[in-house]
Structure formats: structure tokens, C-alpha cells
Structure 1
Amino acid sequence: MAIADQLNPDYAKVLTTGDSYTGGEFFFEEKTNLLRDIPDIEEEFDDDEAPESLQEAVRSFLLVCAVAEAEEALVNRSMLIQASQYRDRHDIYAEWVQGLISSWQALVADNESTTRESFEMTWKDLSKTWPDIPTFEELWSHLEDVCGDVRLVVVNSGGEEVDWGAKRFWILVGGQKLDRGFTVEGLVTTYMPRPKALTPDTLQQRARFFGYRRSYATGIRIYLQPEVRIAYGEYVKDEGVLHRALREHSGRPLSEWRRSFLLSGGMKQLVRSNVIGRSTVNLDFKEGWVQQRNLPKTSTQSSSNLELAEAFMWELGGELKDVRQVLPESRFKDERMNRPITTFAAGRNSEDVVRFLLSLSVEGNDHLTVTAICAWLSSLPEEQEVDVVFIDSLDSQSQTGRTASGLATNVFTGRSPAKVGSEDISKLTYTGDRSVHAGNPTLHVRAFKVTDAPFSAPESDRVVWFAVWVPSDHRKNVVLEVLP
């Protein structure tokens, strides 16, 4: 919502959900044993036969209903099949499920052995998370009645309405109408063969299985495609960062909060474009390196940045080592003559790096870059360390000079000689600046002699520049609000 909007809130408070709530953290961090994969091999849609994972999901639901029947519990139990955005597929899924239930009802009545074995296998799976589930024999005795009592409804613009008081057991099949504003009573089984949503708001809204369900969570099963399961797990982590940022801002006007959001799981956009009222920009951390692009405007800014960098280097002095003593010879090499030593401080606290970056005077889009880097660093687990590298120990005497436009494009000294193959480092004298990192996120700080700086020497001879390496398992998008 735009700051100027009269509905923009004055403050925000993060509310606790209560002990009985089951949300993202519950399912994707605490109780991942309630999740089941829809195998990739079933992604190819075939309307001839119901996928095995769907059959398992329906069996699981029917057994949960049998528990309610055995215990004479007057509660709703429901299964949600988030089939597709295409209505013709809703009908196919409905036909599959109705066919399964009808055939199983007859087979259960005949005590058919193969059907009995398949239900008993599903019962054993439920018992892994539901220690006090009734015996299989007891549930089997109720399954014929349960199959006759289940009501199946297709939920779309032309489908039926759901009267929760009319029946206890429901199976709902649909797509977009189930995404938003639809409450599903007593939801225990979710089957979602749909691919990953493109925006976090849609991903979250599809999670009808979030809710106050802890009292019967042991019987819940959620069937997802693997990429969707990963996306929900990443979303939960990103949401935690947002909540932490709001809690830290507590007590101050919301208009002063610079919005920043992390997007994991390959998502590029924060929300659907027609619902956002703010100007935002996406910064992609997926290329490995994120770097400063602009010169400071004044000699005072340049001098201040140099003092801050030297103070940071002095602060880390006892921990700094020659990079050649830190990185393995199998991937790093520097045999250049008459070059200052590049120093490496391993395992720093990310807060130290955030503090340093926020203290720098930067220009243009570098404000967004610094904010994005700091938001990302603040999202890392507390135990995640960051390495700090001072290229050439902030020395620039051996440099012939660089232009501002050249630095905006690339700050890295490349491999030498450049023509040597990428795997053959034995013939190299230097593997290049981009190789100066280990496994941790890494900050590079260096000084450049800038030939066309808008200020003169000595400030133009040592202009501080930064770059940050993002390990592949931490690469995200960061969405930032652009303030007027």
C-alpha cells in the first residue's frame, strides 16, 4: 500500500497465532513428516487412471473419516484437491475420486484382499504420526459406511455450494476459487498437483491447510509436488525475516519502515502486479556476485569511506591472513610479482559486515544494493558466518587507474593469463578475484585509483569499492520499496 494512501496504517504489530494454530512453520519446519510428495513421474497428466498418489491420499482421508465414525465424533472432516486452474480437469479429478470411492465401497463390503492390504498400508503410514489411532480392524469395519457418507463437490464458478451442516465428510475439487477467501472446515487431507505459484501471495493463499488444526494434526497429510514443497519451506523462512523486521520496528511509525522482502524458490515478483500500491525494485542475488556501481560524489565521501575501510581492516587485524594460506591450492593461485598481499578474515559475524556497509557513503542505486545486501545478511541463520577480504590490503599504488564507467561494469581483476583453460590452473599466475571466496558469504573491499573521479588526488587515488559473493544455497531475490 502506498505511503500516501489514506488507508495506510500508522503502525504494525506482529500478533501471535495461539497454541492451536498450524501454519507454515508447523508444517514445513516442525512436522515435515506430515508432508508427502507427488512423484515427478505423475506430473504428466493422464486421464485414463487416477495417479497412485491421489489414490493414497483418498485412502488416507477415508481412514481419518473412519476414525470420526468409530468415535461418533460430530465433526467435519474434509479433503481438498487443488486440481488445476482449468475447469475440465476439475471434472476429471472428480470422476477419478468418485470412481475410486464407489469401487472401494463394494470391495470393502466383499472384504477383498488387495483393497484391504492397500488400506492397511495407508493405516500404517498414518500410525507413524498418530500413535493412538484406532486399530485397523476397527476402522476397516466402518469404511463401507464412510464411503457412502462422503459428499464430493466441484468448487468453481459453476459448481455447487458447500453446506457444511448437511454432511460430515467432504471432498472438494477445484482451482482458483479455492485459492482465496474459501474456508475449508476440518481439512485433513490436501492434494495439490498444481505447479509452484509465481508469487508468494498466491503460494500462501493456496495453503488452505494452514489454520487452527493442531488438535487433529496427527491425521493430516499434505501431498505436494517437490518444487512446491521446497517453495513453501523457503517462503516460511522469508516470512520469518519479515516478521523479525516488523518486530524490530515496533513502536515507530510504519511510514518510516523501509520495506524489504526476500523472495526464494525462484520467485521474481512479490505479489500480483494489480494489487501492489508501492514502487518496488527487484535485486537478483542469483548471479553469485553483487557489486557497487557508482563513485561517491565528493572527496569528503571518498575520504570517509577510506577511513571506515581502514578502520574495519585494523579492527580485524589479528584475524587477517594471507589469502594464499587460507584458500586451497586446488582452486586458488596467485604468483603475481610485486603485488600487495590480499588478506582474508574468515568466520565473521554478519552484523559486523552489515554495520560496515551501512556506514559507507554511496550513490544512486547503490543505496538499494546496500539495503538489499543487509536485508539478505540479516536473514541468514545466526550461526552463518561471513568472510571478509581486503583485496591488495586496500593498496592501489601498483594500479594504472580505472574509469568510473569501467568500474560500474566490473570491479574484478580476471584470470591471468586470460587464455588459459578454466580447469588448468597450473599454467596460471592468478586465478582471478572472483575465485577469492570459500564456502561462506564473502565481502570484498578494495581501493581503486580512479582516473576520471569528480575530485582530485589524493582522494581519487584510493576510492573504496565493495562486492559481495552469495553462495548458491543462499541466492534469492530481494524486493525493496523505492522511496520518493
Structure 2
Amino acid sequence: MTTSIKILKTVKPPLRWVPEQGEFTIEFLKSKSKDANGPSYAALTEGADSILHEAQRILGRCLPPGNIEEDPETGLVVGYVQSGKTLSFETVIALARDNGYGMIIVLAGTKNNLRDQSEERLKKDLGIDDGGDHWYHLSNPTTSAKNQIETRLQAWQKKSTKKALLITVLKHGGRIEDLAKVLAKLDLSCVPSLIIDDESDQASLNTKAARIKAGLAAINEVSTTYKSILTLRAVLPHHSYLQYTATPQANLLLVQTDFLNPNFAELVTPGESYTGGTAFFIDNADLIVEIPTKQVPSKTNNVVSPPKSLLQALRYFLLAAAHHSLTREKGIKAKDRNRSMMVHPAMATSSHKTYKSWVDKALKTLRRTVEDLHASDPAVAGAKFEVEYESLAKSFPDIRPLRELIAELLDEVFDELNVVEVNGTKDAEKKVNWRATRYWILVGGAKLDRGYTVEGLCITYMPRPLGSAPAADTLQQRARFFGYKKPYLGLCRVFVQGTVKAAFTEYIEHEEFVREALANHRGLPLAKWRRDFILTEMLKPTRGNVIGLGIRRIPVNGWLVPKVMQRDDNAAAANRTLLIDVVTKWRRDFGPDENAATVLSGVKDSPHNVIVDIPLRNVLDDFLLNVQVRDPSDAEQHTAMLIGLAAMLREDESLKVDVFLMNRLDTGYRTREAGHGLPAEHRFAPINQYFSQSAGMLNDRDHCFSDRITLQLRKFDLGTHQRDKSKADIKDVTWFALNVPAKLRKALLVEERG
């Protein structure tokens, strides 16, 4: 513990205070280490990225419990989907109790099944179910609970052995308002409080923010749940509010004056066995199986029988379940006791019934077929699964022999398998009891999205289409197949349509970009961070109605050309020197330069030279990061270009650039770009003169390649006189243009600042 405190005292920027782990936190973490699927105690407590250390950092950014004069604090805590955010905030709750917080309120999901899931886990993990001495618990309290809450808080204040009050409440305007009304009648001036908002980007935020920004709604016109959270916060004189999420886009795009705008951000680091987007879509792309569009029911595509890809997914699942049945630990407290499959077709519950009927029918037919074939010839029965088995054997070489798996299907798996709908219909499974049986197939839509944990999920069948410009955070929250699956990752498969696969793959870059930016601003005031995101053009960052900031998308694609260069004389002089130095260096290291006609198809002669195959890393480090771009509009595009190129380089370190030395770097002469009506000292580059589209002419725009990055460098004098170079107003202008081919395109989402 002493070592941990020493580490925490060196955190930069400094914490407000250093929470210490007390008796309950130690007890809690030891209990979690004994969970069937829990990490070791050492993994929970040792190292800067441990659950304990990060929880201490998070709480240490909140208000110190002993100082009741400071204004409320708001923090953002970001993890990955299915990465252990609940364990993180449970540890924060334990620390808060040990360090003098009297009341912790958890906004635990927008649906009853999610609230029940979170509440049951909290009661179990915090020892409330066992009648421990550390907590009072209330669920969705109404106005009738006033005396009960008052009594509990009075007991907390006067007793040396303190039992803190934990309140779990559905994230619903009415429920939160009820709680706020009760608390408003109590004296809470000496009760440090903590609010945990689980899945904080959902429902909590003001869905009228965009209308307010556009002037279509009054500043005080707010959505119901958002208003209820503000009301709750207003009755807590000394509190901190922590927003937990794996998809922080909406939280980060709130206007700076929003009452829920976070002041700081911290991260949750997943454990070693975590498998997220990179594990599935980058490192092990063979785990992703594309569903042909013709196998997905739609208004224009009538599918009347179980699609072949669904039947294939079922065979994968049965083999994975059989392997689990043969190799699992036995006993009540056995680890990793379930294997499950999720079928996630669409929002409409009618589609859930269709897919469930297909699954039921397919399993019944398959079981009967395997039983009949196995009785006469086990090898023939195994042949029904041969394709899937060979695929699994490649990704998971330790899989048991096929003949053993088939026998186990008949002996155990078929009998232990339960297929249920998980949705809001009356016939659906209201609560999955994972201990009732070992193998499950869950069919559903929204209730299997955000926040829902599917135990032992190994096969996901998600024919749900991408839709038109979906929100990045909504797409990512469908990834219930992420999680702590490293021990059996090779037995997992994810079935999606091709467009969904592409969107997930591209989202990963965006997610890592945002996370890296948050890591660089960890603990710092978020108001000082300009929100610039890499985001694929396939996706928008979040639902538009909650975005309070002005944002726009800058494409890093095609020609990127500064309109204004040499905004001041110092920049002009620095860029002239830079151009001479960098061309000298590149000629020495990658040259010599040659006539552009030698590399451009169909060109007999060119006035320009080229140096081919300069590594993108060198072009960035030597020139693009150093050239001075002073015009605000150009600088914004230049920043987008730098971020986009850096992202390309992370994906492929071998990328090369062809550098064209326009007019062999002889100083040309151009007049100020027509139509601006401004004197030459505004220094607009004559873009149209260089990139003219004269029919039948090979112009400067054509000096590039369709599949490679191109950089053009140029020198010219700039004036207003049409023909007389001697009357140039600006001498020796350095100018460049960059072309990014379509296959490497990126897009940067930028915050507009007034």
C-alpha cells in the first residue's frame, strides 16, 4: 500500500488527494480474486494499470470528502466495450466508502434488465446480499423512503463503524426525480456523495443540445432525463459525478457550458486476456465471417428458410460447446461455466421470432440427423461438421478430436442447450439464469446491445445491416462479443455483413485515436483539449441531437493545397530555408531526382523533376511537421492532414511518397489569385493557375499517382502585375501541395472554435 501511495503522489498532473484502501476495499478485492472468472489479487492490486491503482486515480480526481466547500466535480472514465468498467466503478465505490463518502448513487441502466443486472452484481460483490456491516442499500427509492434514508445517513454520521448508503436507480427521468425530491428534504451538507453514471453517453445527455446550438430551442429547453440528473445534482451540496462509458464521443462533444461537460478524463486499462476490436478485426480477421446480403431478410429480399450462414454459425457453436463440455472444470464454483451464442438480427421483435423459429427448427433437424447417422456410422455424422471443424482447428489447435465432439453433442450439449428470446415481448426470457444450464442461444435486439453481458459468448450471428451513416458509438456498443476471451478466442466466430465488418474495422482506428488523445490529456482540464477525431466517412461520431459543439469533417483525400502561404515574413524566411535544406537532404539520401516523364505514363517530357520512394516517415519528420502554415483555415486543414498521415503510417510503416520538384525548383512568377479583391500582401497562392483544367493539357494536377501519396514543392514570386516579374510584391514564396489517393483516404472530425 505504501508503494502504491508513493506512485500516486507522483502522478502528473497531481491528484487532488490520495485515496487509501481501507478494510472494506481490501476485503472486496480479495473476494473478487476468488470469483470463478475473476483476476488474481496481484492483477487487481499491483502495478500502475491495476484496477486498484486506476480506481485511486479516478477517485483522487474527485472532491476530497473532508472539504465540503468546493464546487461539484465531473469526470469521464473511459474503458473498452466489455473490458471491466463495472469492476472499476465497484472498486471506486469501495474506496469511496473507506475514505469517508456517505452516499453513493448508481444510475444503473435505462432498461430494467440492465438495472437488475447491475444491481444484482453490486449487491453480490459488495457483500450486501450476505448482510455485511458496510452498506445500506436502497433500490429505486420513492418519496416514502425519506425517513429510511434520513435514518441511514444519521447513523452513518454518528457511528464510528460507518455503513454507507448505496442507492441504485433506473436511469429514467421519473425515477431520478423521485430520488431528488426525497434528498431535497434532507440536510446533506455534511454528507460527501458520489454519483456513478453507468453508460453515461446514453439517455443522460441533453437530446435538445443541437436544437439549442442551432437557435431552434431556448437555452433552458432540455430533455427529461438530463433535467432530472441536473435536479439530482443540485440537491447534493458536496458531490462528484463520474461518467463511465466505452463510447465517449457524445460526452466529448458537449458544449463547454453544459452542466454535464466533464472536467477531466481517466482511463480503464483492460487485463491481459481482454479481446477487443483489434483482436477480432485486425489480428485475427479469420474469426470474422461475412454474411452474404442475399441471406439477410429485407423488404426487397424475401428469405423463407434458415440462411446457410445461420446454419453454419450453429454448427460452429455446437462444436465450441462440445469442446467446452469435454474440457470444463467441474463443480459449483467452477470457472468459465457457460458457452453461448447470440443472434442479433434487428430491432423489430417480429424478426426475433423468425430467427428463433429458424434456430429451433435447425437444431431439431440437426440433432435428429446426427443421432441417426452416428448410430450407423459416426464418421458420416462428423462429416456434417467437417468444414467448421477444420476452420476451428486452424484457429484453436487444441480442439478435441471431431469424433469426441460429436459424441459429446449427443451425450450432453443438446440436452443442456436452451434457446430464448431476449426482448420486451411477453413470451421473452425476462432474466437469463446462467446457472440453470450451461449452453444458451440468445435471440434479440436492443436488449442485447449496450451494457448487456452474455456469459461465455463465443459465436455471434448479427445480420443487422449497417444502416445509413450510423453513429460510431452505437455501432461499437453492439460488440457484445468483445471481452475476456483470450483463452478460447480461437473458438469464437462473428458473422456480420461486409459493410458492418468494414465499419468495425475502421472504427478501431477512431477508438484508439480518441483513447490516445485522452491518455495524453489524462487528468488535465478537458476544456483545453480541442476535439479533433479521426473518423471514417462511413460513420458519424454519435447521434446528432446531443452534440453541442460546432463540428465539421475535413477530408484527407485528394489534393490538399494551402490557399494562403507566408502569412508573415518570419514564416516566409523559415520556409525558404526549410525547402533548401530538405531538398538537399532528400537528393542525398533518396535521389538523384529525375525528369517526371520517366515515371509518368504517356508523358514524353515534363518541366518538373521527381524524387521517388521517399518514406512517408521522412516526409513528415523533415518537412510537413516543420513547414509554417499560419493562416487559420490552412492551419486547420494542415493539422487534419498531419493527423491523417500519422494514422496511415500507424497502419503501414512502409508507405512511400513521390516528391515532385515543380519547374525543377526554379523560381516562377504568378499573379495573385483572381477574384479575391485583396492586395498582394494577403499572399493568396495562385492555385487555379497551377491546377488549371484546360482540355487536352497535362497540368500540374496530373503530376501524381492514383495509388501513392504525392508531394509537390514549388518556388515562385507573387505579384499583381500580369506580366512584369520585376514588379513582384512577394519574393521567393515556398509552396507545397499534397495528394492522398482514395484508397488511403481519412477524415478528421474537428471542433469549430469561435
- Shorter-chain TM-score range: 0.7 to 0.9
Q: Secondary structure at the match of 1:170?
A: strand
* Residue aligning to 2:532: 260
Give 1:207 shift.
1.2
User: In the alignment, is the contact (CA less than 8 A) between 1:55 and 1:100 conserved in 2?
Assistant: yes
Where relative contact order (Cα < 8 A, 6+ residues apart) is larger, the structure is 1
Give 1:89 shift.
1.6
1:133 paired with 2:399, answer yes
* Residue aligning to 1:369: 637
The structure 1 residue matched to 2:422, chosen from 131, 155, 180, is: 155
Q: State the percentage of identical aligned residues.
A: 33
Deviations 1:398-419 (A, max 9, x none): 545533659587464346xx43
Deviations 1:222-280 (A, max 9, x none): 1122232233223223433444444455675544333322223x424222213444332
Q: Please, what is the CA RMSD of the aligned residues?
A: 3.3
Question: What amino acid sits opposite 1:156 in the alignment?
Answer: N
Question: What amino acid sits opposite 1:476 in the alignment?
Answer: K
* Residue aligning to 2:448: 178
The higher radius of gyration belongs to: 2
Does the C-alpha gap of structure 1 residues 388 and 239 become closer, same or farther in structure 2, counting only changes over 3 Å?
farther
Contiguous gaps of at least 5 residues in structure 2? 1-251, 677-683
CA distance in structure 1 between the partners assigned to 2:420 and 2:294 by the alignment? 27
Give 1:101 shift.
1.3
1:25 paired with 2:292, answer no
Deviations 1:27-46 (A, max 9, x none): 12222232222234424644
Give 1:96 shift.
0.4
User: In the alignment, is the contact (CA less than 8 A) between 2:472 and 2:541 conserved in 1?
Assistant: yes
CA distance in structure 2 between the partners assigned to 1:331 and 1:15 by the alignment? 56
For 1:12-161, what aligned pairs fall within 5 Å after superposition?
12=265, 14-43=267-296, 45-71=301-327, 73=329, 75-111=337-373, 116-144=382-410, 145-158=412-425, 159-161=428-430
* Residue aligning to 1:425: none
Give 1:329 shift.
4.5
User: In the alignment, is the contact (CA less than 8 A) between 2:658 and 2:710 conserved in 1?
Assistant: yes
For 1:308-387, what aligned pairs fall within 5 Å after superposition?
308-318=578-588, 319=590, 321-324=592-595, 327-335=598-606, 341-344=608-611, 346-350=613-617, 352-353=619-620, 356-358=623-625, 359-379=627-647, 380-381=649-650, 382-387=653-658
Give 1:10 shift.
4.9
Deviations 1:429-464 (A, max 9, x none): x454332347532222334554569xx975535444
Give 1:208 shift.
0.9
CA distance in structure 2 between the partners assigned to 1:72 and 1:32 by the alignment? 27
Does the C-alpha gap of structure 1 residues 452 and 163 become closer, same or farther in structure 2, counting only changes over 3 Å?
farther
Give 1:119 shift.
2.7
1:419 paired with 2:695, answer yes
For 1:210-289, what aligned pairs fall within 5 Å after superposition?
210-248=482-520, 253-264=525-536, 266-286=537-557, 288-289=558-559
User: In the alignment, is the contact (CA less than 8 A) between 2:563 and 2:687 conserved in 1?
Assistant: yes
Q: Secondary structure at the match of 1:61?
A: helix
Give 1:298 shift.
4.8
CA distance in structure 2 between the partners assigned to 1:123 and 1:194 by the alignment? 26
Question: What amino acid sits opposite 2:484 in the alignment?
Answer: Y
Does the C-alpha gap of structure 1 residues 24 and 137 become closer, same or farther in structure 2, counting only changes over 3 Å?
same
1:468 paired with 2:742, answer no
Question: What amino acid sits opposite 1:62 in the alignment?
Answer: L
Number of residue equivalences: 466
Q: Secondary structure at the match of 1:195?
A: coil
User: In the alignment, is the contact (CA less than 8 A) between 1:403 and 1:452 conserved in 2?
Assistant: no
* Residue aligning to 1:193: 463
Deviations 1:105-152 (A, max 9, x none): 333332367765313443333222232322323222232442343222
The structure 2 residue matched to 1:168, chosen from 428, 438, 441, is: 438
* Residue aligning to 2:48: none
Q: Secondary structure at the match of 2:385?
A: helix
Q: Secondary structure at the match of 1:376?
A: helix
Give 1:220 shift.
1.0
User: In the alignment, is the contact (CA less than 8 A) between 1:401 and 1:449 conserved in 2?
Assistant: no
CA distance in structure 1 between the partners assigned to 2:338 and 2:420 by the alignment? 15
Question: What amino acid sits opposite 1:230 in the alignment?
Answer: A
Give 1:374 shift.
0.6
Moved more, 384-393 or 465-474: 384-393
Deviations 1:455-479 (A, max 9, x none): x975535444432111222112111
Q: Secondary structure at the match of 1:365?
A: helix
Does the C-alpha gap of structure 1 residues 411 and 140 become closer, same or farther in structure 2, counting only changes over 3 Å?
farther
Does the C-alpha gap of structure 1 residues 241 and 306 become closer, same or farther in structure 2, counting only changes over 3 Å?
same
Contiguous gaps of at least 5 residues in structure 1? 421-427
Give 1:59 shift.
1.4
Q: Secondary structure at the match of 1:361?
A: coil
User: In the alignment, is the contact (CA less than 8 A) between 1:342 and 1:391 conserved in 2?
Assistant: yes
TM-score (norm 2): 0.56
Does the C-alpha gap of structure 1 residues 401 and 408 become closer, same or farther in structure 2, counting only changes over 3 Å?
closer
Give 1:17 shift.
1.8
CA distance in structure 1 between the partners assigned to 2:382 and 2:277 by the alignment? 34
CA distance in structure 1 between the partners assigned to 2:578 and 2:496 by the alignment? 49
Does the C-alpha gap of structure 1 residues 14 and 181 become closer, same or farther in structure 2, counting only changes over 3 Å?
closer
User: In the alignment, is the contact (CA less than 8 A) between 2:597 and 2:605 conserved in 1?
Assistant: no
